[in-house]
Amino acid sequence: MHKLFIRSFVSSLVFLFTLTVAAVAKDVKAAFVYIGPTGDHGWTYQHDVGRKAVEAAGFKTTYVEGVPESADAERVLRQLANSGHDVIFTTSFGYMNPTNKVAKEFPNVKFEHATGYKREHPNVATYAARFYEGRAILGTIAGSMTKSNVIGYVASFPIPEVIRGINSFTLAAQKVNPNIKTKIVWAFTWYDPGKEAEAAKALIDQGADIIAQHTDSTAIVQIAEKAGVYAFGQASDMDKFAPKAVLTSVENNWGPYYVERVKAVANGTWNQKDTWHGIGDGMVVISDLDSAIPSNVRSKVKKLQADLASGKVHAFTGPIYDQKGNLMVAEGKTADDGMLAGMMTYVKGVEGDIPK
Amino acid sequence: MIIDVNFVGLIIASIMASAVPLILASCGELITERSGVLNLGVEGMMIIGAISGFALMTVTGNLIIAVFGAMLAGVLISTIFAFLTQTLITNHVATGLALTIFGIGISAMIGKNFVGIPGKEFPILFESLKDTIPLLSPILFGHSIVFYFAFALPFITSYFLKKTKIGLIVRAVGDSPESASNQGINVKLVRYACILYGGAMCGLAGAYLSMIYTPQWIENMTGGRGWIALALVVFSTWNPIKILIGAMIFGGLTIIQFHMQAVGVRIPVQFLTALPYIVTIIVLVVISRDSRKIRLSTPSSLGKSFYKDN
């Protein structure tokens, strides 16, 4: 009896204390869940740069790195939601179901899921970047500058995001140079510098004089530098890794969005929405153009960049044909977001098959 | 595919370059295992070597400090393993696994400040001779000193084990520590030395990745090569020359499958990606099927703790 009394007394004290803390701490706390380590200098690294921007804007943040896209994710999310975070950013596609599941249990916590499409509860928003716009810029540069008309492309996994990038790149390159071929090599990894380097070497040996990549490490641009061919940086500005080879990079810039959304939580103006921002909104950033790019190409690129930003030009404007010559997008039409989100066929001009 | 002689030479050179970390780590681990110690911490020691080499190179700018520092880092971390398994007689398998986990974790921690920094250029030898002989010159010339060392190492290791007295002692300790001990050999000392040597070679293998092959630091950059090196030791039946063959086949198929993709060979990519693993195992099993020789070269006391009553 006595023991029970003490126990309930202590627990009510703890409860009171928690209440007080909750009442005092009005500061908005944001949490970030990462698929990889922050030291990958790629996908996760760029999200963490965004998190630091939130911190710089005066908010408290926490992050958990290397969270598998499994039941572990749910556990981590529940724990973050339980420990007083007001908004949780889940930064990988595979967190889609765990995010929605945990969001149901914590209606007062806001959830922001990157690259997904499920918003099953009013407290779940989704966001993604139109990286394919950046790849259209790269394609334009590559098509204009290749001498061998063979462009190498190191790809990671056959998912719509990657296929969309390959297609956007190839379409833009064909527009300036109808003779180019895009050779794809699948590395089946997001980052493994050794493997990426080997893939890039193979493409260079096969005659590619410009290498694009959809993997995260800087190994590819370094190999290009050694071999004396051109390359493009991925996720962050990779120029300092290969000053001669890197023509430009497509940077993932999450900071402004993160700051805006955390501020919205603080002001009570947060609402559920689906955000898919591109060059125009600054979520996709094109790094400085290298001096090796001739001025006529440079002006072409600048114009395309401005037109993509204003919406005057869409990267997927018809007529677009698939590899077999079937019409994918009719003349004068543009691909809608639904088609882009599920894109799993190559356009004409890409060599090889998509791994099944 | 354009088949010209120099092209073939270039591909062979790429294959050799990709085999270097496997050869170094495997030959190091081979000595450790021949002394009867199973160290599953290869991946951990490699990653520690990778970050140490890269960090020292970035901070000091001195190649020699960086390369030897990476080896020393491998030695230091393997000392923990040696102390645990030899002095405190812990289980080899569990301790080795712990070493790998520890190495990956601590390298990530040290490496936080080194992400996103380009590596410095590593000098290569005989660059001026690169275009002299068709086919052979890209293979022979224009590589780093570590590259040449790696290709000499299997032969040195083989000679050491077969022809030298110390090599005999190492083998004796691995086969029958009791008899060796009765002969007056300090088993613990020999095993300590072999573990530390293995650590040094794994450290060098890691440094090759972060300083020469792909000069940069990112977390987990060894990407499982430590495990492949470990498997090579077993599948080569503890024979350094077969390690060389296995590493070349493995590196070769990894690179050739990329070429096949680039050329557009219509084989499922997933199969091509799995090919290096499958073929390496098959070839090594086939060339090592002589059971009498396997019995001769397998350290019979591998992974068994030895303790002497004092």
Do residues A36 and A42 make contact, with C-beta atoms less than 8 angstroms apart?
yes
Identify the bridge partners of residue A277 per DSSP, sorted by sequence position. A129
Per the structure block, which two tokens stand in for B247?
Answer: 């590493």
Residues of chain A in contact with residue B220, where contact means CB-CB under 8 angstroms, are 37
Selecting from A152, A188, A203 the residue whose C-beta is nearest the C-beta of B273 gives A188
- The answer to whether the CB atoms of B216 and A40 lie below 8 A apart is no
A88-105, pLDDT tens digit by residue?
A: 999 998 899 999 999 999
Distance CA B131, CA B126 (A): 10
Kindly determine whether residue A205 and residue B14, on different chains, have CB atoms separated by under 8 Å.
yes
**A241 and B216 in contact by Cβ < 8 A?**
yes
Contacts of B227 (CB under 8 A, 6+ apart): B42, B43
> What is B248-287 written as a DSSP string?
HHHHHHHHHHHHHHHHT--S-HHHHHHHHHHHHHHHHHHH
And the tokens for B56? 């020292």
d(CA A153, CA A208): 9
CA count, 13 A, side-chain hemisphere, B151: 14
pLDDT for the residue B247: 95
- Sign, Cα dihedral of B96, B102, B106, B108: positive
Tally A–B CB contacts below 8 A.
115
As a whole number of Å, the end-to-end CA separation of chain B is 68
Look up tokens 């390959």; give the residue.
A166
pLDDT given at position A25: 43
Cβ neighbours of B144 in A, within 8 Å? none
Supply the pTM of this predicted model.
Answer: 0.85
Contact between A319 and A296 under an 8 Å Cβ cutoff? The reply is: no
Angstrom distance (rounded) from CA A76 to CA A265: 21
pLDDT tens by residue, A172-214: 999 999 999 999 999 988 878 999 999 999 999 889 999 999 9
Distance from CA of A235 to the nearest CA of B (A): 12
- Identify whether B299 is preceded by a cis peptide bond (ω within 30 of 0): no
Q: Over its length of 310 residues, how does chain B's per-residue pLDDT go in tens digits?
A: 445 777 888 889 999 999 999 999 999 999 999 999 999 999 999 999 999 999 999 999 999 999 999 999 999 999 999 999 999 999 999 999 999 999 999 999 999 889 888 888 888 888 888 777 878 888 889 899 999 999 999 999 999 999 999 999 999 999 999 999 999 999 999 999 999 999 999 999 999 999 999 999 988 899 899 999 999 999 899 999 999 999 999 999 989 999 888 888 878 888 888 888 888 888 888 887 888 888 888 888 898 888 775 4
- Interatomic CA distance for residues A81 and A217, integer angstroms: 32
CA separation for the pair B80, B97 (Å, rounded): 13
* Kind plus residue range of the DSSP H or E element containing A78: helix A71-82
Residues of A in contact with B108 (CB under 8 A): 37, 39
Residues forming beta bridges with residue A250, ordered by sequence position = A234, A286
Comparing CA positions, the residue from B112, B116, B140, B145 lying closest to residue B128 is B140
Is the Cβ of B142 closer than 8 Å to some Cβ of chain A?
Answer: no
Distance between CA atoms of residues B94 and B84, nearest Å: 11
B221/A186 Cβ within 8 A: no
B107 inside 8 A of chain A by CB:
no
Exposure class string for B5-42: b at 16+ Cβ within 10 A, else e: eeeebbbbbbbbbbbbbbbbbbbbbbbbbbbbbbbbbb
Residue A51: both structure tokens together: 């998190």
Residues in chain A predicted with pLDDT less than 50, given as ranges, are 1, 19-25
Strand ranges across the sheet with A87-90: A60-64, A29-33, A87-90, A110-114, A124-129, A274-277
With beta carbons under 8 A apart, name residues in chain B contacting A241.
Answer: 118, 216
Contact flag A193-B219 (C-beta cutoff 8 Å): no
Neighbours of B88 (CB within 10 A): 9
Q: On the CB side of A88, how many CA atoms lie within 13 Å of its CA?
A: 31
Say how far apart CA A80 and CA A92 lie, in whole Å. 16
Q: Do A198 and B18 touch (CB under 8 A)?
A: yes
Contacts of A205 in chain B (CB under 8 A): 7, 10-11, 14, 259
CA B214, CA A195: separation in Å to the nearest integer? 10
Amino acid identity, position A135: R
Quick one: how far is CA B233 from the chain centroid? 9
Please state, in angstroms and rounded to a whole number, the distance separating the CA atoms of residues B66 and B74.
Answer: 12
A194, B268: Cβ pair inside 8 Å? no
The alpha-helical segments, DSSP class H, found in chain B are 5-34, 42-60, 63-82, 92-111, 136-140, 145-163, 165-175, 177-182, 187-207, 225-235, 240-263, 269-287, 291-297
- Kindly provide the b/e burial profile for residues A239-274, where b requires at least 16 CB atoms within 10 angstroms of the residue's own CB: bebbebbbbbbbbbbbbebbbebbbbbbeeebeeee
Q: CB neighbours (10 Å) of residue A297?
A: 18
Question: Encoding tokens for residue A324?
Answer: 């077999």
Contact indicator for A305, A137 with CB cutoff of 8 Å: yes
Nearest to A183 by CA among A352, A343, A321, A356: A352
| B118 contacts on A by Cβ (under 8 Å) | 218, 222, 240-242
- Give the residue from B143, B212, B261, B277 with the most A CB atoms within 10 Å of its CB, the best one to mutate: B261
Contact B225/A at CB under 8 A: yes
Q: With beta carbons less than 8 A apart as the criterion, state whether A168 and A316 touch.
A: yes
Phi, psi (rounded to 5 degrees) for A214: -125, 45
Helix (H) or strand (E) holding A33: strand A29-33
Strands A284-286, A246-252: pairing kind = antiparallel
Residues A49 and A54: their CA atoms lie apart, in Å, by 9
CA distance B126 to B149: 15
Q: How many CB atoms within 10 Å of residue A213?
A: 30
CA A289 to chain centroid, in Å, comes to: 21
For residue B263, give the chain A residue with the closest CA: A206
Whole-complex ipTM = 0.83
Beta bridge partners of B192: none
Contact between chains at A353 and B270 (C-beta distance less than 8 A): no
A contacts of B209 (beta carbons < 8 Å): 193-194
For the record, the structure tokens of B192 come out as 């300590």
The answer, for B270 touching chain A at a CB cutoff of 8 Å, is yes
Cα separation, B171 vs B36, in Å, equals 8
Chain-chain contact of A207 with B118 (C-beta, under 8 angstroms): no
CA distance A32 to A55: 12
CB contact under 8 A, B219 and A39: yes
Residue written as token pair 């699948």: A186
φ, ψ (nearest 5 deg) of residue A123: -100, 15
Cα separations in angstroms, B100 against A64, B44, B220, B304: 22, 4, 11, 20
Alpha-helix residue ranges (DSSP H) falling in A146-192: 160-176
Q: Select from A188, A202, A222 the Cβ nearest to the Cβ of B215.
A: A222
Q: Given CB atoms, is B268 within the 8 Å cutoff of chain A?
A: yes
Tracing tokens 């020393």 back to the chain, one arrives at: B72
Q: What pLDDT is stored for residue A292 in this prediction?
A: 95
Q: To the nearest 10°, the Cα dihedral for B235, B237, B242, B248?
A: 20
pLDDT value of residue B1: 46
Q: What is the pLDDT of residue B305?
A: 87
Identify the structural domains of chain A with CATH numbers, from first to last. 2-129 (3.40.50.2300), 131-251+285-341 (3.40.50.2300)
The predicted structure's pLDDT at residue A347: 94
Q: If you ran DSSP here, which 8-state letter would residue B209 be given?
A: I
